Structure 1
Amino acid sequence: MWSWKAALSLGTVANLLGLVNGVTVYYIPGQAPLSAATASAATYTGAAAYNPTVLTPPPVPTDLPKSFTLQLVNGGTAGASIPVPGRFFGFSIEMSVVNQVLGKNASFIQVPFLNLMGNLAQRSGGVQVRVGGNTQETAVLVDSTPDGRILEKNLTGVTNPTQTPPLIFTPEFLYLMSNISSLVNVHWHIGVPFFNVPNFNLDIAVKGRQILGDRLIGIQVANEPDLYVNHLHRPQGYNEFNYADEFGELVQAMSSDPNEAENMNILIGPNIATEWTPEQVWNTGFVDRFSSNLAFLAVERYPSDNCFAQFGVGVQRNPQDVFPTYLTHAAGQGIVSSYLNSTAFAQTKGKPFMMFETNTASCGGFPGVSDSFGAALWGLDYAMTMAYSNFSGALFHVGGQNVFYNPFTPPPTNQSDFHQWTIGPIYYSALVVAEAIGSSNNSQVLDLQANGANQFTPAYSIYEGGNPVRVLLINFNSDPSGNSDVTASIAIGGGQTGQPSSTPASVKVKYLRADSIAQKANLTWANQTFGDHFASDGRPMGTEEIVTVPCDQNAGVCNIVVFAPSAALVFLSDSAMTENDGAPATTYATTARTKLFNTVTIDPAVVSTSNGHKGLTQLGSTSKGSVSGATGLKAHIPGLSVVFSMVLGAIIILGRKW
């Protein structure tokens, strides 16, 4: 065994020669622009990730109460959640787009991704990321690929209704993940292929443990097995008992391999979607049977789908019509309600319960909905509802260019010379949740049933050590006049609580804001933004704005205005805020350039990253019901050189063992 280390420092130049192989996906097949779209959207034929469709905000309810009191107490509150880990809000990255989102190889990491994860790790202590999805089920680990890429799709091998292409990938794929974790505190979930039972290919698990070490925290066993029959991967009659038996066959196969000893207790199941209920799986004895093997119990769920626009199957849904259904507290409650029995069951078994894959809608989401400020508030409220309901994590899905719901999207490869990343509204949700829950890993969340349990103005209190430390307020209404702003009067102790008032002299507030619930870009969190399409290197732009609100100590309340629309995170003490500051954020800058001739001159402050021209075979998602209709584009170039630099001249050692 031998090892080598590649040192990348300020000014390091790597000469890369070879073919360019990348595509731009121009549309989701069948997705027609809507009458509610802007004029520019009416003729739009570009990728879904940049669709300009803007919808009409729903009307404000006429009976909205404009003010309400939130009475908090110290010393513990009945009904609060179990302790919630700081890394609660994570991401599920479709395996087939890893070389677009994470990096081209182990030595060329996507700097914006590092920055985006660093922002969250600073606030929450760490981030969990799942790499998998439908494409993990047929993925095969190979020593190398003919063209040296870390990932290849067999687009001619598509044989199922989801049109998911088989993959091959190299160990470099896992080294890329490991090198990311050496820079930012990211932990990983992977999945074993589960189509060929009992002839399991366990290479990804074996190599994953060797390369990722304790950064590997979960191995998924089957992705949506309850949909296997629909997707032609199992015969009619396949059920939850069959899945449990196949899970057992996998455990037996792992027990026969000495390299799998540490992996046998980090398995994840049952990962079902909608065809089976969790209770059906629990009733097989699944959890007791595999208790020593299961690190997490997990499910996957999208609240709706846009599959008719994609494949002409299912129910046709107009985004304008579904938009209001996302703009209410009932949206998240409706999803979570079917899992309340299971989160309680998981506690009796000592297992964390996770939402392993979710987002606004399967088959890519909806234009004008999934990429709107409304989705940011929806994702925020949905995640906090899951935390309150005793989930231990929620992973929001990341696909390719042809989905509307991405938390973040790298530019198409043929635009990476001059375009940066696009940050979606769901990433803003992640930032707020990270700060709301904090990094203590001991926070408890309580749904306050605010404003008479009004569905448009939910509120949560976050407790540590039994005492309230932060309050999150949301206003789903969209009203530029200000007439639908609401005021929450927060009181701690006093009144009828039997406690003396401990309302502070002042509190600090951060706002998540946009001018409209339908706004698509330039959202702000504490006055900082990631800009418009193609505008971000993963670092927030602008000056952070933290509002100090004086409290009325005579009345024992702090009056917090919640704009329509917005979310307000209230820090009840300075320590409640500094906890989330963590260590100074480590961010990275890059001067990566992929073309040194026939170029335009761009201000480096504006264009600070590129994902290069090599290593991308197709930009698209292969999550459930999602596929690109684009074909590959090949072009020869004489050479390719990349300059990769880090701020402060930091030298980053990327270790690699063979």
Structure 2
Amino acid sequence: MHRRGGGILALALAALALAASAALAAGAAAQTPLQATVSPATVGQPMAPGFVGLSLEYSALHVYTGRDPLQVNPVFEALVRNLAPGQAPVLRIGGGSADATWWPVRGLLPPGGVDYRLTPGWLRTTKALASALGARLILGVNLAASRPALAAAEARAFVHGIGQPYIQALEIGNEPDIYNVIPWYTDKRGRVFFSRAGNYNFSRYLAEFARFRAALPPLPLAGPATAGLTWLGGLNQLLAAEPRLRVVTVHRYPLRACVTNPSQPGFPSIPSLLADQASSGLAQGIAPYVAVAHARGVPLRLAEMNSASCSGKRGVSDTFASALWALDTLFNLASVGVDGVNVHSLPGAGYELFTFTRLFGHFLAFVHPEYYGLMLFAQAFPPGAQLLQASAPGGPVKLWATHAPDGHTRVVLINKDPSAAHEVAVSVPGASAASLDWLTAPSAAATSGVTLGGQTFGGETPTGLLGPPQTVPISAVAGAYAVNLPPASAVMLTQ
């Protein structure tokens, strides 16, 4: 059995982190500090509740919740709440399994690509989860089967078995822009089937969307749930034609685990994940479509996002580098107006956020590094907070600052350099006594040993909760804070 996370391990790791920081401070004394300035001017809209959510597969939900609606996995519930503290979290259930799932309909056989059957037990457990969390659900319905009656049966089951108050929207299909590129299924004879013909395009999708919308119960809809950006050129046309489309959903991954040639674009590696293209580049790519959606009064969510498509890559997606990537990427997405992000987690995948086991009937979770980055973002950018204008040092050191309704200014510094420490002098208006919460790990490639605020979930957590943060006090000198960033680390300064 792995050791459980808690006091002794947390204190030891905190001591190591502080010692490392002190050593780096001494070594950096001769360096010229990087300069950063935070302005009191706010930019963008206040943070909306439920910005950080999860994306889950139909067929995998019970792995996280358990199968007893009277005793849903409390560790999973806590881990969800950590990402949306005091808020109604947004859970998107769909992914590839959306087009492989059905609610049995009398007299109909499941199509060839359908291999997962929804049950009353699944509905009861999902309702119990939504009730416990006060969650809002974006639920995918099957488009690949090209049978509106099947999608309508799923939707009616959701309304009756989960309840309309918990349903934010029905997402029609999953990544229809690659229906004619990625096979839907392979039969027992090895024959490969695509859900759409080679000439399937956005115009045909628009017509299908209308047919499915007419068959579905009168609930808000989400889409187009695209894998790429090409079809988003028609987003304004889609929104004009479909007033029930109340959430624009897009899926984004900066890297592709299916790419095995290191010389090809998208090949997953730690340097590629820490590169600006994987974070600010991803956000800039989606920014024009955020503007289109907002012009129509519709929010845009990245309803599925993680480090690398094709289930992620071990040695990249499960390393501490993914925590630094996630932290910086969420800030970048918020800065271009994205209204929320659902981080995809799949049991056994390289990018899974947590792995559950059971011991004597009790759930235990190993929390992977990326989750810590999501958690720090949630702490640094609470609902109602706004981004502050700031001049960042540039290079591998990133800076983000927020001002919250509680009066606190929070400055997040991220050192994406895996091998070098950097000293930063941060000028903040009204600089006074402040505190530091560190996000650290043994290295960018580490898959364990992560601490946030001196605390860790350890080898396994029976609660999903971290202890109180062990903050480090810091004082300003001449209006600036001197912060020494170890290699591959991040820190939140709270004033």
**Amino acid paired to 2:232:** P
User: TM-score normalised to the size of structure 1?
Assistant: 0.63
**Correspondence for 2:235 among 259, 267, 282:** 282
**Aligned position for 1:620:** none
Contact residue 86 and residue 437 of structure 1 kept, 8 A: no
Work out the CA distance in 2 between the residues paired with 1:199 and 1:476. 47
Contact residue 103 and residue 153 of structure 2 kept, 8 A: yes
Q: CA deviation at 1:338?
A: 1.7
Q: Which moved more, 1:104-113 or 1:298-307?
A: 104-113
Q: What do the CA deviations read for 1:563-582 (whole angstroms, capped 9, x no partner)?
A: 2221111222xxxxxxxxxx
Question: SS at the partner of 1:421?
Answer: strand
**Correspondence for 1:484 among 405, 421, 426:** 421
Q: Which runs of 5+ in 1 are unaligned?
A: 1-64, 145-153, 160-164, 255-259, 493-501, 573-658
Contact residue 93 and residue 399 of structure 1 kept, 8 A: yes
Matched, 1:424 2:368: yes
**Aligned position for 1:26:** none
Q: CA deviation at 1:418?
A: 9.5
Contact residue 255 and residue 278 of structure 2 kept, 8 A: no
What does 1:501-580 correspond to in 2, within 5 Å? 502-503=430-431, 505-532=432-459, 535-540=460-465, 544-552=469-477, 555-572=478-495
Work out the CA distance in 2 between the residues paired with 1:200 and 1:221. 13
**Aligned position for 1:186:** 135
Work out the CA distance in 2 between the residues paired with 1:168 and 1:385. 38
Work out the CA distance in 1 between the residues paired with 2:65 and 2:388. 35
**Aligned position for 2:176:** 225
Q: Which moved more, 1:204-213 or 1:351-360?
A: 204-213
1:136 and 1:66, CA in 2 relative to 1: closer, same or farther beyond 3 A? farther
Matched, 1:112 2:39: no
**Aligned position for 1:577:** none
Contact residue 71 and residue 490 of structure 1 kept, 8 A: yes
What does 1:95-494 correspond to in 2, within 5 Å? 95-122=58-85, 125-142=87-104, 166-201=115-150, 202-210=152-160, 211-230=162-181, 231=183, 232-254=194-216, 260-261=217-218, 263=219, 266-274=220-228, 276-279=230-233, 281-282=234-235, 285-291=237-243, 293-307=244-258, 322-401=269-348, 403-411=349-357, 420-438=364-382, 440=383, 442-445=384-387, 448-451=390-393, 453-454=394-395, 456-464=396-404, 469-479=409-419, 484-492=421-429
1:371 and 1:536, CA in 2 relative to 1: closer, same or farther beyond 3 A? same
Work out the CA distance in 1 between the residues paired with 2:81 and 2:265. 39
Q: CA deviation at 1:278?
A: 1.1
1:286 and 1:143, CA in 2 relative to 1: closer, same or farther beyond 3 A? closer
**Aligned position for 1:149:** none
1:140 and 1:431, CA in 2 relative to 1: closer, same or farther beyond 3 A? same
Work out the CA distance in 2 between the residues paired with 1:517 and 1:447. 28
Contact residue 193 and residue 200 of structure 1 kept, 8 A: no
Q: What do the CA deviations read for 1:405-440 (whole angstroms, capped 9, x no partner)?
A: 1111223x8x887993221122112211111111x3
Question: SS at the partner of 1:247?
Answer: helix
Q: CA deviation at 1:212?
A: 3.0
Name which structure has the greater RCO, CA cutoff 8 Å, separation 6+.
1
Q: Which has the larger radius of gyration?
A: 1
Q: CA deviation at 1:167?
A: 0.9
Q: CA deviation at 1:543?
A: 5.3
Work out the CA distance in 2 between the residues paired with 1:247 and 1:363. 26
1:275 and 1:393, CA in 2 relative to 1: closer, same or farther beyond 3 A? closer
**Amino acid paired to 2:89:** V
Work out the CA distance in 1 between the residues paired with 2:229 and 2:130. 36
**Aligned position for 1:73:** 39
1:517 and 1:342, CA in 2 relative to 1: closer, same or farther beyond 3 A? same
Question: SS at the partner of 1:350?
Answer: coil
Contact residue 435 and residue 474 of structure 2 kept, 8 A: yes
Number of matched pairs: 450
Q: What do the CA deviations read for 1:166-185 (whole angstroms, capped 9, x no partner)?
A: 21011221221221233223
**Amino acid paired to 2:490:** A
Structure 1 vs Structure 2 CA RMSD:
3.0
Q: CA deviation at 1:538?
A: 4.3
1:464 and 1:418, CA in 2 relative to 1: closer, same or farther beyond 3 A? closer
1:317 and 1:213, CA in 2 relative to 1: closer, same or farther beyond 3 A? closer
Contact residue 381 and residue 404 of structure 2 kept, 8 A: no
Contact residue 194 and residue 200 of structure 1 kept, 8 A: no
Q: CA deviation at 1:104?
A: 1.4
1:66 and 1:176, CA in 2 relative to 1: closer, same or farther beyond 3 A? farther
1:267 and 1:399, CA in 2 relative to 1: closer, same or farther beyond 3 A? same
Contact residue 484 and residue 563 of structure 1 kept, 8 A: yes
User: TM-score normalised to the size of structure 2?
Assistant: 0.83
Contact residue 475 and residue 481 of structure 2 kept, 8 A: yes
**Amino acid paired to 2:373:** S
Work out the CA distance in 2 between the residues paired with 1:317 and 1:355. 19
Q: CA deviation at 1:447?
A: 6.9
Contact residue 386 and residue 404 of structure 2 kept, 8 A: yes
**Amino acid paired to 2:441:** A
Q: CA deviation at 1:246?
A: 1.0
**Aligned position for 2:16:** none
**Amino acid paired to 2:257:** N
1:416 and 1:365, CA in 2 relative to 1: closer, same or farther beyond 3 A? farther
Work out the CA distance in 2 between the residues paired with 1:351 and 1:419. 39
Contact residue 320 and residue 369 of structure 2 kept, 8 A: yes
Contact residue 522 and residue 530 of structure 1 kept, 8 A: no
Q: CA deviation at 1:247?
A: 1.0
Q: What do the CA deviations read for 1:355-409 (whole angstroms, capped 9, x no partner)?
A: 11111111221121111111110111111111111101111111122x1111112
Q: What do the CA deviations read for 1:597-640 (whole angstroms, capped 9, x no partner)?
A: xxxxxxxxxxxxxxxxxxxxxxxxxxxxxxxxxxxxxxxxxxxx
**Aligned position for 1:643:** none
Contact residue 374 and residue 517 of structure 1 kept, 8 A: yes
Question: SS at the partner of 1:458?
Answer: strand
More helix by share: 2
Work out the CA distance in 2 between the residues paired with 1:317 and 1:333. 15
Q: CA deviation at 1:523?
A: 0.5
Work out the CA distance in 2 between the residues paired with 1:158 and 1:520. 39
Q: CA deviation at 1:465?
A: 6.8
**Identical aligned pairs, as a percentage?**
24
Q: CA deviation at 1:81?
A: 2.5
Contact residue 346 and residue 352 of structure 2 kept, 8 A: yes
Question: SS at the partner of 1:209?
Answer: helix
Question: SS at the partner of 1:531?
Answer: coil
